[in-house]
Structure 1
C-alpha cells in the first residue's frame, strides 16, 4: 500500500513529495483532465495556506475577469454570498453589461453567480469540465446558463466559473432544518409533482446522442463494449483515497480489486451527472416545477446505472408517511423509480449493473467522506471546515454500509 500510515509514522500525505505523487499517479491512471486536477491538488497541499477571500476582493477579481472576456468595462451590483454547498465558494450578483452579444448600446442587468474552488475540497474537480457539460445540457434539461470560465485561475484566487442565477429553492419550507438533500422530505403533494420530472430529466440526460460529445473536449469519450472507462472511474476513487486518507482501511483495498475485476463493459455511453439526487435541483415550491439542476462537477461519460444507483444511496433516503415505505431521494421506492426510468428512457435497467454501481457509489461516497472531507478539514483548506468535520464522521456509517452491501454482492 502506497505511503501507508501507521501509528507513530509521519502522515506523508500532509506534505507529499514528488515521489509519492508520481507513484500514485502511475498506479491509478485516470482521465487526462482528472489527472491534472488531482496532481495540482497534491502539489498545492504542500504549501497550503487558505484564507477566505473577502467579498470585496472577489467582486473586484470577478469584475476584471468579466471585463476582460466581454472586451469592455462592466459593473457588478448587489453582490452577496450564497449559502449551500460543501465544496465551493459562491457569490451572487447582478451584472450591468451590454448583454451576450455586446453590440447594443442598451445596458442590461443580468443576475449571475460566480462559483469558485477553495484550496482544498471534498470534491476536487475541474471547472473546465463543469463549464463544458453545463453548456452541453443547455436547452436539454434545466440548468444554469454558462457565461465564462477561469479554469486556470488567471483572474480569480482559485479556478472558477460564472453562470446565470437560477430561481427556485433546494428544499421545501416545511423541511428546511436538514442539511440540503440528506433525508429530504418533500411531502406527498409536492412529491407527486416532482417525481415525473425527476425521472424524465434523468432519462433525457442519458439519451443525449454521442454526436454531441465533441462539445466535451476535457472528457475522455468511452467506447461501447469496453470497460476501460469504468476502471478509470474506479481508479479515480481509489486515487483520491490514496492521496487523502487519514488512516488505513483494508476494506477499501478489497473492494477496489473487486470493482476492477467486475467492471462491466458499456452497453451505451451516457452523460452521467454523478450527483443526481435530492438537494441538487431547484424547484418552484408553489408549482412544483424543477427550475435547474446544479452541481455538475462530478459529471462523466459512462454508464447510466451510476446515476440510477446514486439516487438510492442511504444518506438520501427517508421513510414515507405510512411509516414503512422507504423513499429514495425523497421521490419513491427503488422499484418505482427504475420502472419509470425504463419506460421514459427506453434504455433498460440491468440488475447486474445496478448491483455493481451500487457498490461503486458506496465506495466513492466512503472515499469522499472518510478521506477527502477529513483531509480538507484537517488542512483547513476550505470555508466549510465545521461541516466537513461533521460529514467526515458519517464516513464510518458509509463504510459499514459499503461492507454490508459488498458481502451481499459477493455471497
Structure 2
C-alpha cells in the first residue's frame, strides 16, 4: 500500500467489516484521512467462476463517471502470495447501511424517500450504456435468464448437500416456461437494500456495493430480484412480506414496479411471477452454495450455516410463484 501511495509511515490497522457472506471484507486505516476497504476471495478450494472480485473491481471502475454511485477503486492485486488470495482496495464510504427492509426507527416519509431512491438508482443502472463505459464484453448478449437457470441448477446438482423438492421442480419448470422477448443491460445481480450505502443524513445512495454477480443481463430479472423482498415473510429472511406496508410508508410491490416503469418505459407486469419464481430459485441456489461452503469450512461469515438453511423455504416460495404464473396464463 505504501508503494501505491495509499499509506504513510504509521502502522496500518485492519478490522473485519460486517457482511460479506461470499468475499471477506476489511476496513483499513492507513493514516489520517486514509480509510479504505479491502475485499478478497475466501480461502480454500472455490467453485469455478465464483468470488469474481476482479469483475467487481472492473465494473465499479467503469461506473465511476456514470449516474450509478460507486466507491472509488484504488488498486487490484492478483498476487496471492501477499495475503493468500487476490484482492482489491477501494475508498471507504462513511454512510448508513440498513439491514432490515422494514426500516425500523424511520418515519413514514423517510421510508418512502429511501425506497424511491433505491428505485431511482436501479433505473439509472439499467440506463447505463455498457458498451460506452467499456463493458461491452462484460457478459454475453441475450438469453441471460436461461443461462442463469442452467448455471445455478448445475451448481446445485454438483453440491454434496441435498436440495429440497421445490428446487428440483423449479430446475425442471423454469427452462420450460421462459418468456418470449429479450433485452440486455448491465445488471447488478444482487441489488438490495443492504448492498447500498446511503448518505449519513440524506435519502441518497452514495455507493452500490457487492457487484460479484453483476454481468450483462435482463433488466426485469434484476428488478425482480430486489422485489423478492415483498414475497419473503419478514420473520424468514430480509423480507417485508406480511407487514402493513401502507402503515409504514413503504410502497407496495406494484407501486415499486410502477415507479420503475415510469422511469424506464419498461412494462414488467406480463411475466412478473416468472421473474419472481426465477429469482427465488436463484437466491435459494446461492444460499445452498453458502451452506455447502459452511459444511466445507470455507464460508466467510459466522452465520453461514443459519443462512444456508433458508434455501429450502425460499425455493418453496419460488414454486408458489411458479404456480401463480401458470394459473394466470
Cα pair 1:317 1:326 within 8 Å, conserved = no
Provide the residue aligned with 1:408 in structure 2.
Answer: 324
Q: 1:265 to 1:149 in 2, by over 3 A?
A: farther
Structure 2 residue runs of 5 or longer lacking an equivalent are: none
Provide the residue aligned with 2:58 in structure 1.
Answer: 132
TM-score by length of 1: 0.68
Counterpart selection for 1:375 from 285, 292, 317:
292
Deviation digits for residues 357-382 of structure 1 (CA, Å, limit 9, x no counterpart): 2111111111122x212111111113
Provide the residue aligned with 2:190 in structure 1.
Answer: 275
For residues 78 and 72 of structure 1, the distance between their equivalents in structure 2, rounded to whole angstroms, comes to: 13
Q: 1:382 to 1:324 in 2, by over 3 A?
A: closer
Shift of 1:196: 2.5
Higher mean Cα deviation, 255-264 or 371-380?
255-264
Matches for 1:283-302 after TM superposition, within 5 Å: 283-302=198-217
SS of residue paired to 2:132: helix
Provide the residue aligned with 2:253 in structure 1.
Answer: 334
Provide the residue aligned with 2:272 in structure 1.
Answer: 354
Shift of 1:128: 1.2
Number of matched residues? 315
For residues 62 and 315 of structure 2, the distance between their equivalents in structure 1, rounded to whole angstroms, comes to: 35
For residues 115 and 129 of structure 2, the distance between their equivalents in structure 1, rounded to whole angstroms, comes to: 24
Provide the residue aligned with 1:317 in structure 2.
Answer: 239
Deviation digits for residues 222-255 of structure 1 (CA, Å, limit 9, x no counterpart): 04xxx2x332211121122123351143433332
Q: 1:287 to 1:71 in 2, by over 3 A?
A: closer
For residues 216 and 125 of structure 1, the distance between their equivalents in structure 2, rounded to whole angstroms, comes to: 21
Say whether residues 1:82 and 2:1 are aligned partners.
Answer: no
Shift of 1:199: 1.1
Q: 1:72 to 1:127 in 2, by over 3 A?
A: closer
Matches for 1:159-308 after TM superposition, within 5 Å: 159-171=86-98, 180-181=99-100, 183-185=102-104, 186-212=106-132, 214-215=134-135, 217=137, 219-223=138-142, 227=143, 229-264=144-179, 267-308=182-223
Say whether residues 1:111 and 2:35 are aligned partners.
Answer: yes
Q: 1:230 to 1:151 in 2, by over 3 A?
A: farther
Q: 1:342 to 1:189 in 2, by over 3 A?
A: same
Shift of 1:325: 4.2
Q: 1:374 to 1:205 in 2, by over 3 A?
A: same
For the aligned residue pairs, the C-alpha RMSD in angstroms reads 3.0
SS of residue paired to 2:191: coil
Cα pair 1:150 1:161 within 8 Å, conserved = yes
Q: 1:194 to 1:249 in 2, by over 3 A?
A: closer
Cα pair 1:184 1:317 within 8 Å, conserved = no
For residues 238 and 6 of structure 2, the distance between their equivalents in structure 1, rounded to whole angstroms, comes to: 45
Cα pair 2:149 2:171 within 8 Å, conserved = yes
Higher mean Cα deviation, 256-265 or 155-164?
256-265
Cα pair 2:163 2:312 within 8 Å, conserved = no
Counterpart selection for 1:397 from 288, 293, 313:
313
Shift of 1:94: 3.4
Higher mean Cα deviation, 255-264 or 306-315?
255-264
Structure 1 residue runs of 5 or longer lacking an equivalent are: 1-62, 97-107, 172-179
SS of residue paired to 1:148: strand
Q: 1:380 to 1:128 in 2, by over 3 A?
A: same
For residues 277 and 248 of structure 1, the distance between their equivalents in structure 2, rounded to whole angstroms, comes to: 25
Deviation digits for residues 72-100 of structure 1 (CA, Å, limit 9, x no counterpart): 9865634322222222222212346xxxx
For residues 300 and 127 of structure 1, the distance between their equivalents in structure 2, rounded to whole angstroms, comes to: 13
TM-score by length of 2: 0.84
